Amino acid sequence: MYTANKQRYETMEYKRVGKSGLKLPYVSLGLWHNFGSLFPHANSREMILGAFDLGITHFDLANNYGPVPGSAEETFGRVLAQDLRKYRDEIIISTKSGYYMWEGPYGEWGSRKQMIASLDQSLLRMGLDYVDIFYSHRPDLETPLEETVSALVQAVRSGKALYVGLSNYDAKRTKEAIDLLKAEGIHCLIHQPRYNIYDRRPEEGLYQVLEEEGVGAIPFSPLEQGLLTNRYLNGIPADSRAAGGSIFLKSEQITEDKLSQIRKLNDIAVQRGQTLAQMALSWLHKSPVTASVIIGASRLSQIEDCAKAHQAAPFTQEELDKIDQIVKG
Ligand code: NDP
């Protein structure tokens, strides 16, 4: 029988999401890798409960997370039912739809049919009446944006989602979607972009739109899938994502050049009194638009490390410049 750590709210920092009433933890946990049915349930459970014990109140999911697709939501539903049910009101659960989930013309993208059916499936898999945040996972250029947005609006009006968000939308489409939602009286809570020390695309207009519109950001892959940690400093460990045949992080991507940059970044982190993972997360939080960051993990010790990221001093301009110089090669 699980009982949550009584000190869980004493060490984590919580930040307001844009101009909304909601606060999220400095670090949130994503269930994209390592939580599907092909992974040991005991480890998934240990990570979810361990995260909650550290004050991590936000868990990020999507319809298709696994493998097999859908099974990360089932894993989370199982832990919720067995251990976390009494803490439901202390937890922010997000899910998304848009990527391929089932056969036929309604199994992906952004039609109203797809979005609403997918949300219903996610609720069933997790054993929930509602999710806290429902996202359009990616823009669909063939479906009118009005239709995708109408599905988000319906999710809120039907009580199946408390808030809505966008993911992988560029600055222009983000602004259009925010305006369409506004016209329906619904504030876009949050945007989930890919953003980290290496991937700077959100700086090309997206963060500015979010700031102007009072929308929060929650970057995904903040550790560049593990590259921005000490994971690969001494080679490619057999139990790492890069060694595991992931199509998203291939061992060929970990070149000597990259490793040399990572070692230099690690030196700056050490001088700041942080691990490289912690520094990579603090770096994203230097913008007030960043409300939280979504880390992935394969073991609880990684979450414990990341959960301390907020404890360091702010960056000096000299540190920020050095980081830029290193990644520009
Ligand atoms: P990260 O960049 O945080 O990479 C996670 C990996 O980094 C872990 O699996 C682990 O690698 C390693 N790691 C994490 N912490 C540490 C640490 N302290 N020390 C050493 N290594 C560490 O994120 P992900 O790419 O996993 O994405 C995170 C989440 O973002 C997803 O779960 C999902 O919720 C969301 N996401 C959203 C997308 C979207 O389109 N909206 C797309 C992708 C992700 P290892 O497994 O090798 O141990």
HEC-encoded secondary structure of 155-220 = HHHCCCEEEEEEECCCHHHHHHHHHHHHHCCCCEEEEECECCCCCCHHHCCHHHHHHHHCCEECCE
Does residue 316 carry a pLDDT above 90?
yes
CA dist 148 and 141 (Å) reads 10
pLDDT reported for residue 1:
87
CA dist 167 and 152 (Å) reads 13
Nearest CA to ligand 1 atom 16: 302
pLDDT reported for residue 244:
86
> Is residue 118 a contact partner of residue 63, using CB atoms and an 8 Å limit?
yes
- Residue 222 Cα to ligand 1 midpoint, Å, equals 7
Q: What does the mean pLDDT of the chain come to?
A: 97
Does residue 2 carry a pLDDT above 90?
yes
Nearest CA to ligand 1 atom 5: 296
CA dist 44 and 80 (Å) reads 12
- Residue 32 Cα to ligand 1 midpoint, Å, equals 8
Does residue 58 carry a pLDDT above 90?
yes
> What is the residue type of 214?
G
> Taken in order 242, 247, 253, 259, is the CA torsion positive or negative?
negative
pLDDT tens-digit map of 101-152: 999 999 999 999 999 999 999 999 999 999 999 999 999 999 999 999 999 9
For residue 200, name the pLDDT band (cuts at 50, 70, 90): very high
pLDDT reported for residue 279:
98
pLDDT tens-digit map of 207-221: 999 999 999 999 999
Nearest CA to ligand 1 atom 32: 30
Count CB neighbours of 183 within 10 A: 11
> Is residue 211 a contact partner of residue 289, using CB atoms and an 8 Å limit?
yes
CA dist 161 and 243 (Å) reads 37
Could you tell which of 27, 28, 33 is best to mutate to test the pocket of ligand 1, judged by most ligand atoms within 8 Å of the CB? Answer: 33
Give the binding-site residues of ligand 1, using a 6 Å CB cut-off.
Answer: 30-33, 60, 137, 167-168, 192, 220-226, 229-231, 240-241, 277, 294-298, 302, 305-306
CA dist 160 and 132 (Å) reads 8
pLDDT reported for residue 91:
98
- Residue 197 Cα to ligand 1 midpoint, Å, equals 14
What is the SS3 assignment for 287-329?
A: CCCECCEEECCCCHHHHHHHCCHHHCCCCCHHHHHHHHHHHCC
Segment 227-245 shows an average pLDDT of: 92
Does residue 253 carry a pLDDT above 90?
no
For residue 177, name the pLDDT band (cuts at 50, 70, 90): very high
Share of the chain above pLDDT 90, in %: 95
Does residue 273 carry a pLDDT above 90?
yes
> Is residue 90 a contact partner of residue 23, using CB atoms and an 8 Å limit?
no
Does residue 67 carry a pLDDT above 90?
yes
For residue 204, name the pLDDT band (cuts at 50, 70, 90): very high
Q: Domain 8-226+276-313: what homologous superfamily?
A: NADP-dependent oxidoreductase domain (3.20.20.100)
CA dist 73 and 318 (Å) reads 43
Q: Which of 228, 185, 175, 206 is nearest to 290 (CA)?
A: 206
Does residue 25 have a cis peptide bond before it, meaning omega lies within 30 degrees of 0?
Answer: no
Segment 96-102 shows an average pLDDT of: 98
CA dist 286 and 276 (Å) reads 16
pLDDT tens-digit map of 274-303: 999 999 999 999 999 999 999 999 999 999
pLDDT reported for residue 247:
84
Does residue 159 carry a pLDDT above 90?
yes
- Residue 221 Cα to ligand 1 midpoint, Å, equals 5
- Residue 218 Cα to ligand 1 midpoint, Å, equals 13
pLDDT reported for residue 201:
98
pLDDT reported for residue 261:
97
pLDDT reported for residue 133:
99
- 143 HSE (CA, 13 A, CB side): 23
Does residue 329 carry a pLDDT above 90?
no
Residues 6+ apart with CB under 8 A from 258: 227
**pTM confidence score:** 0.98
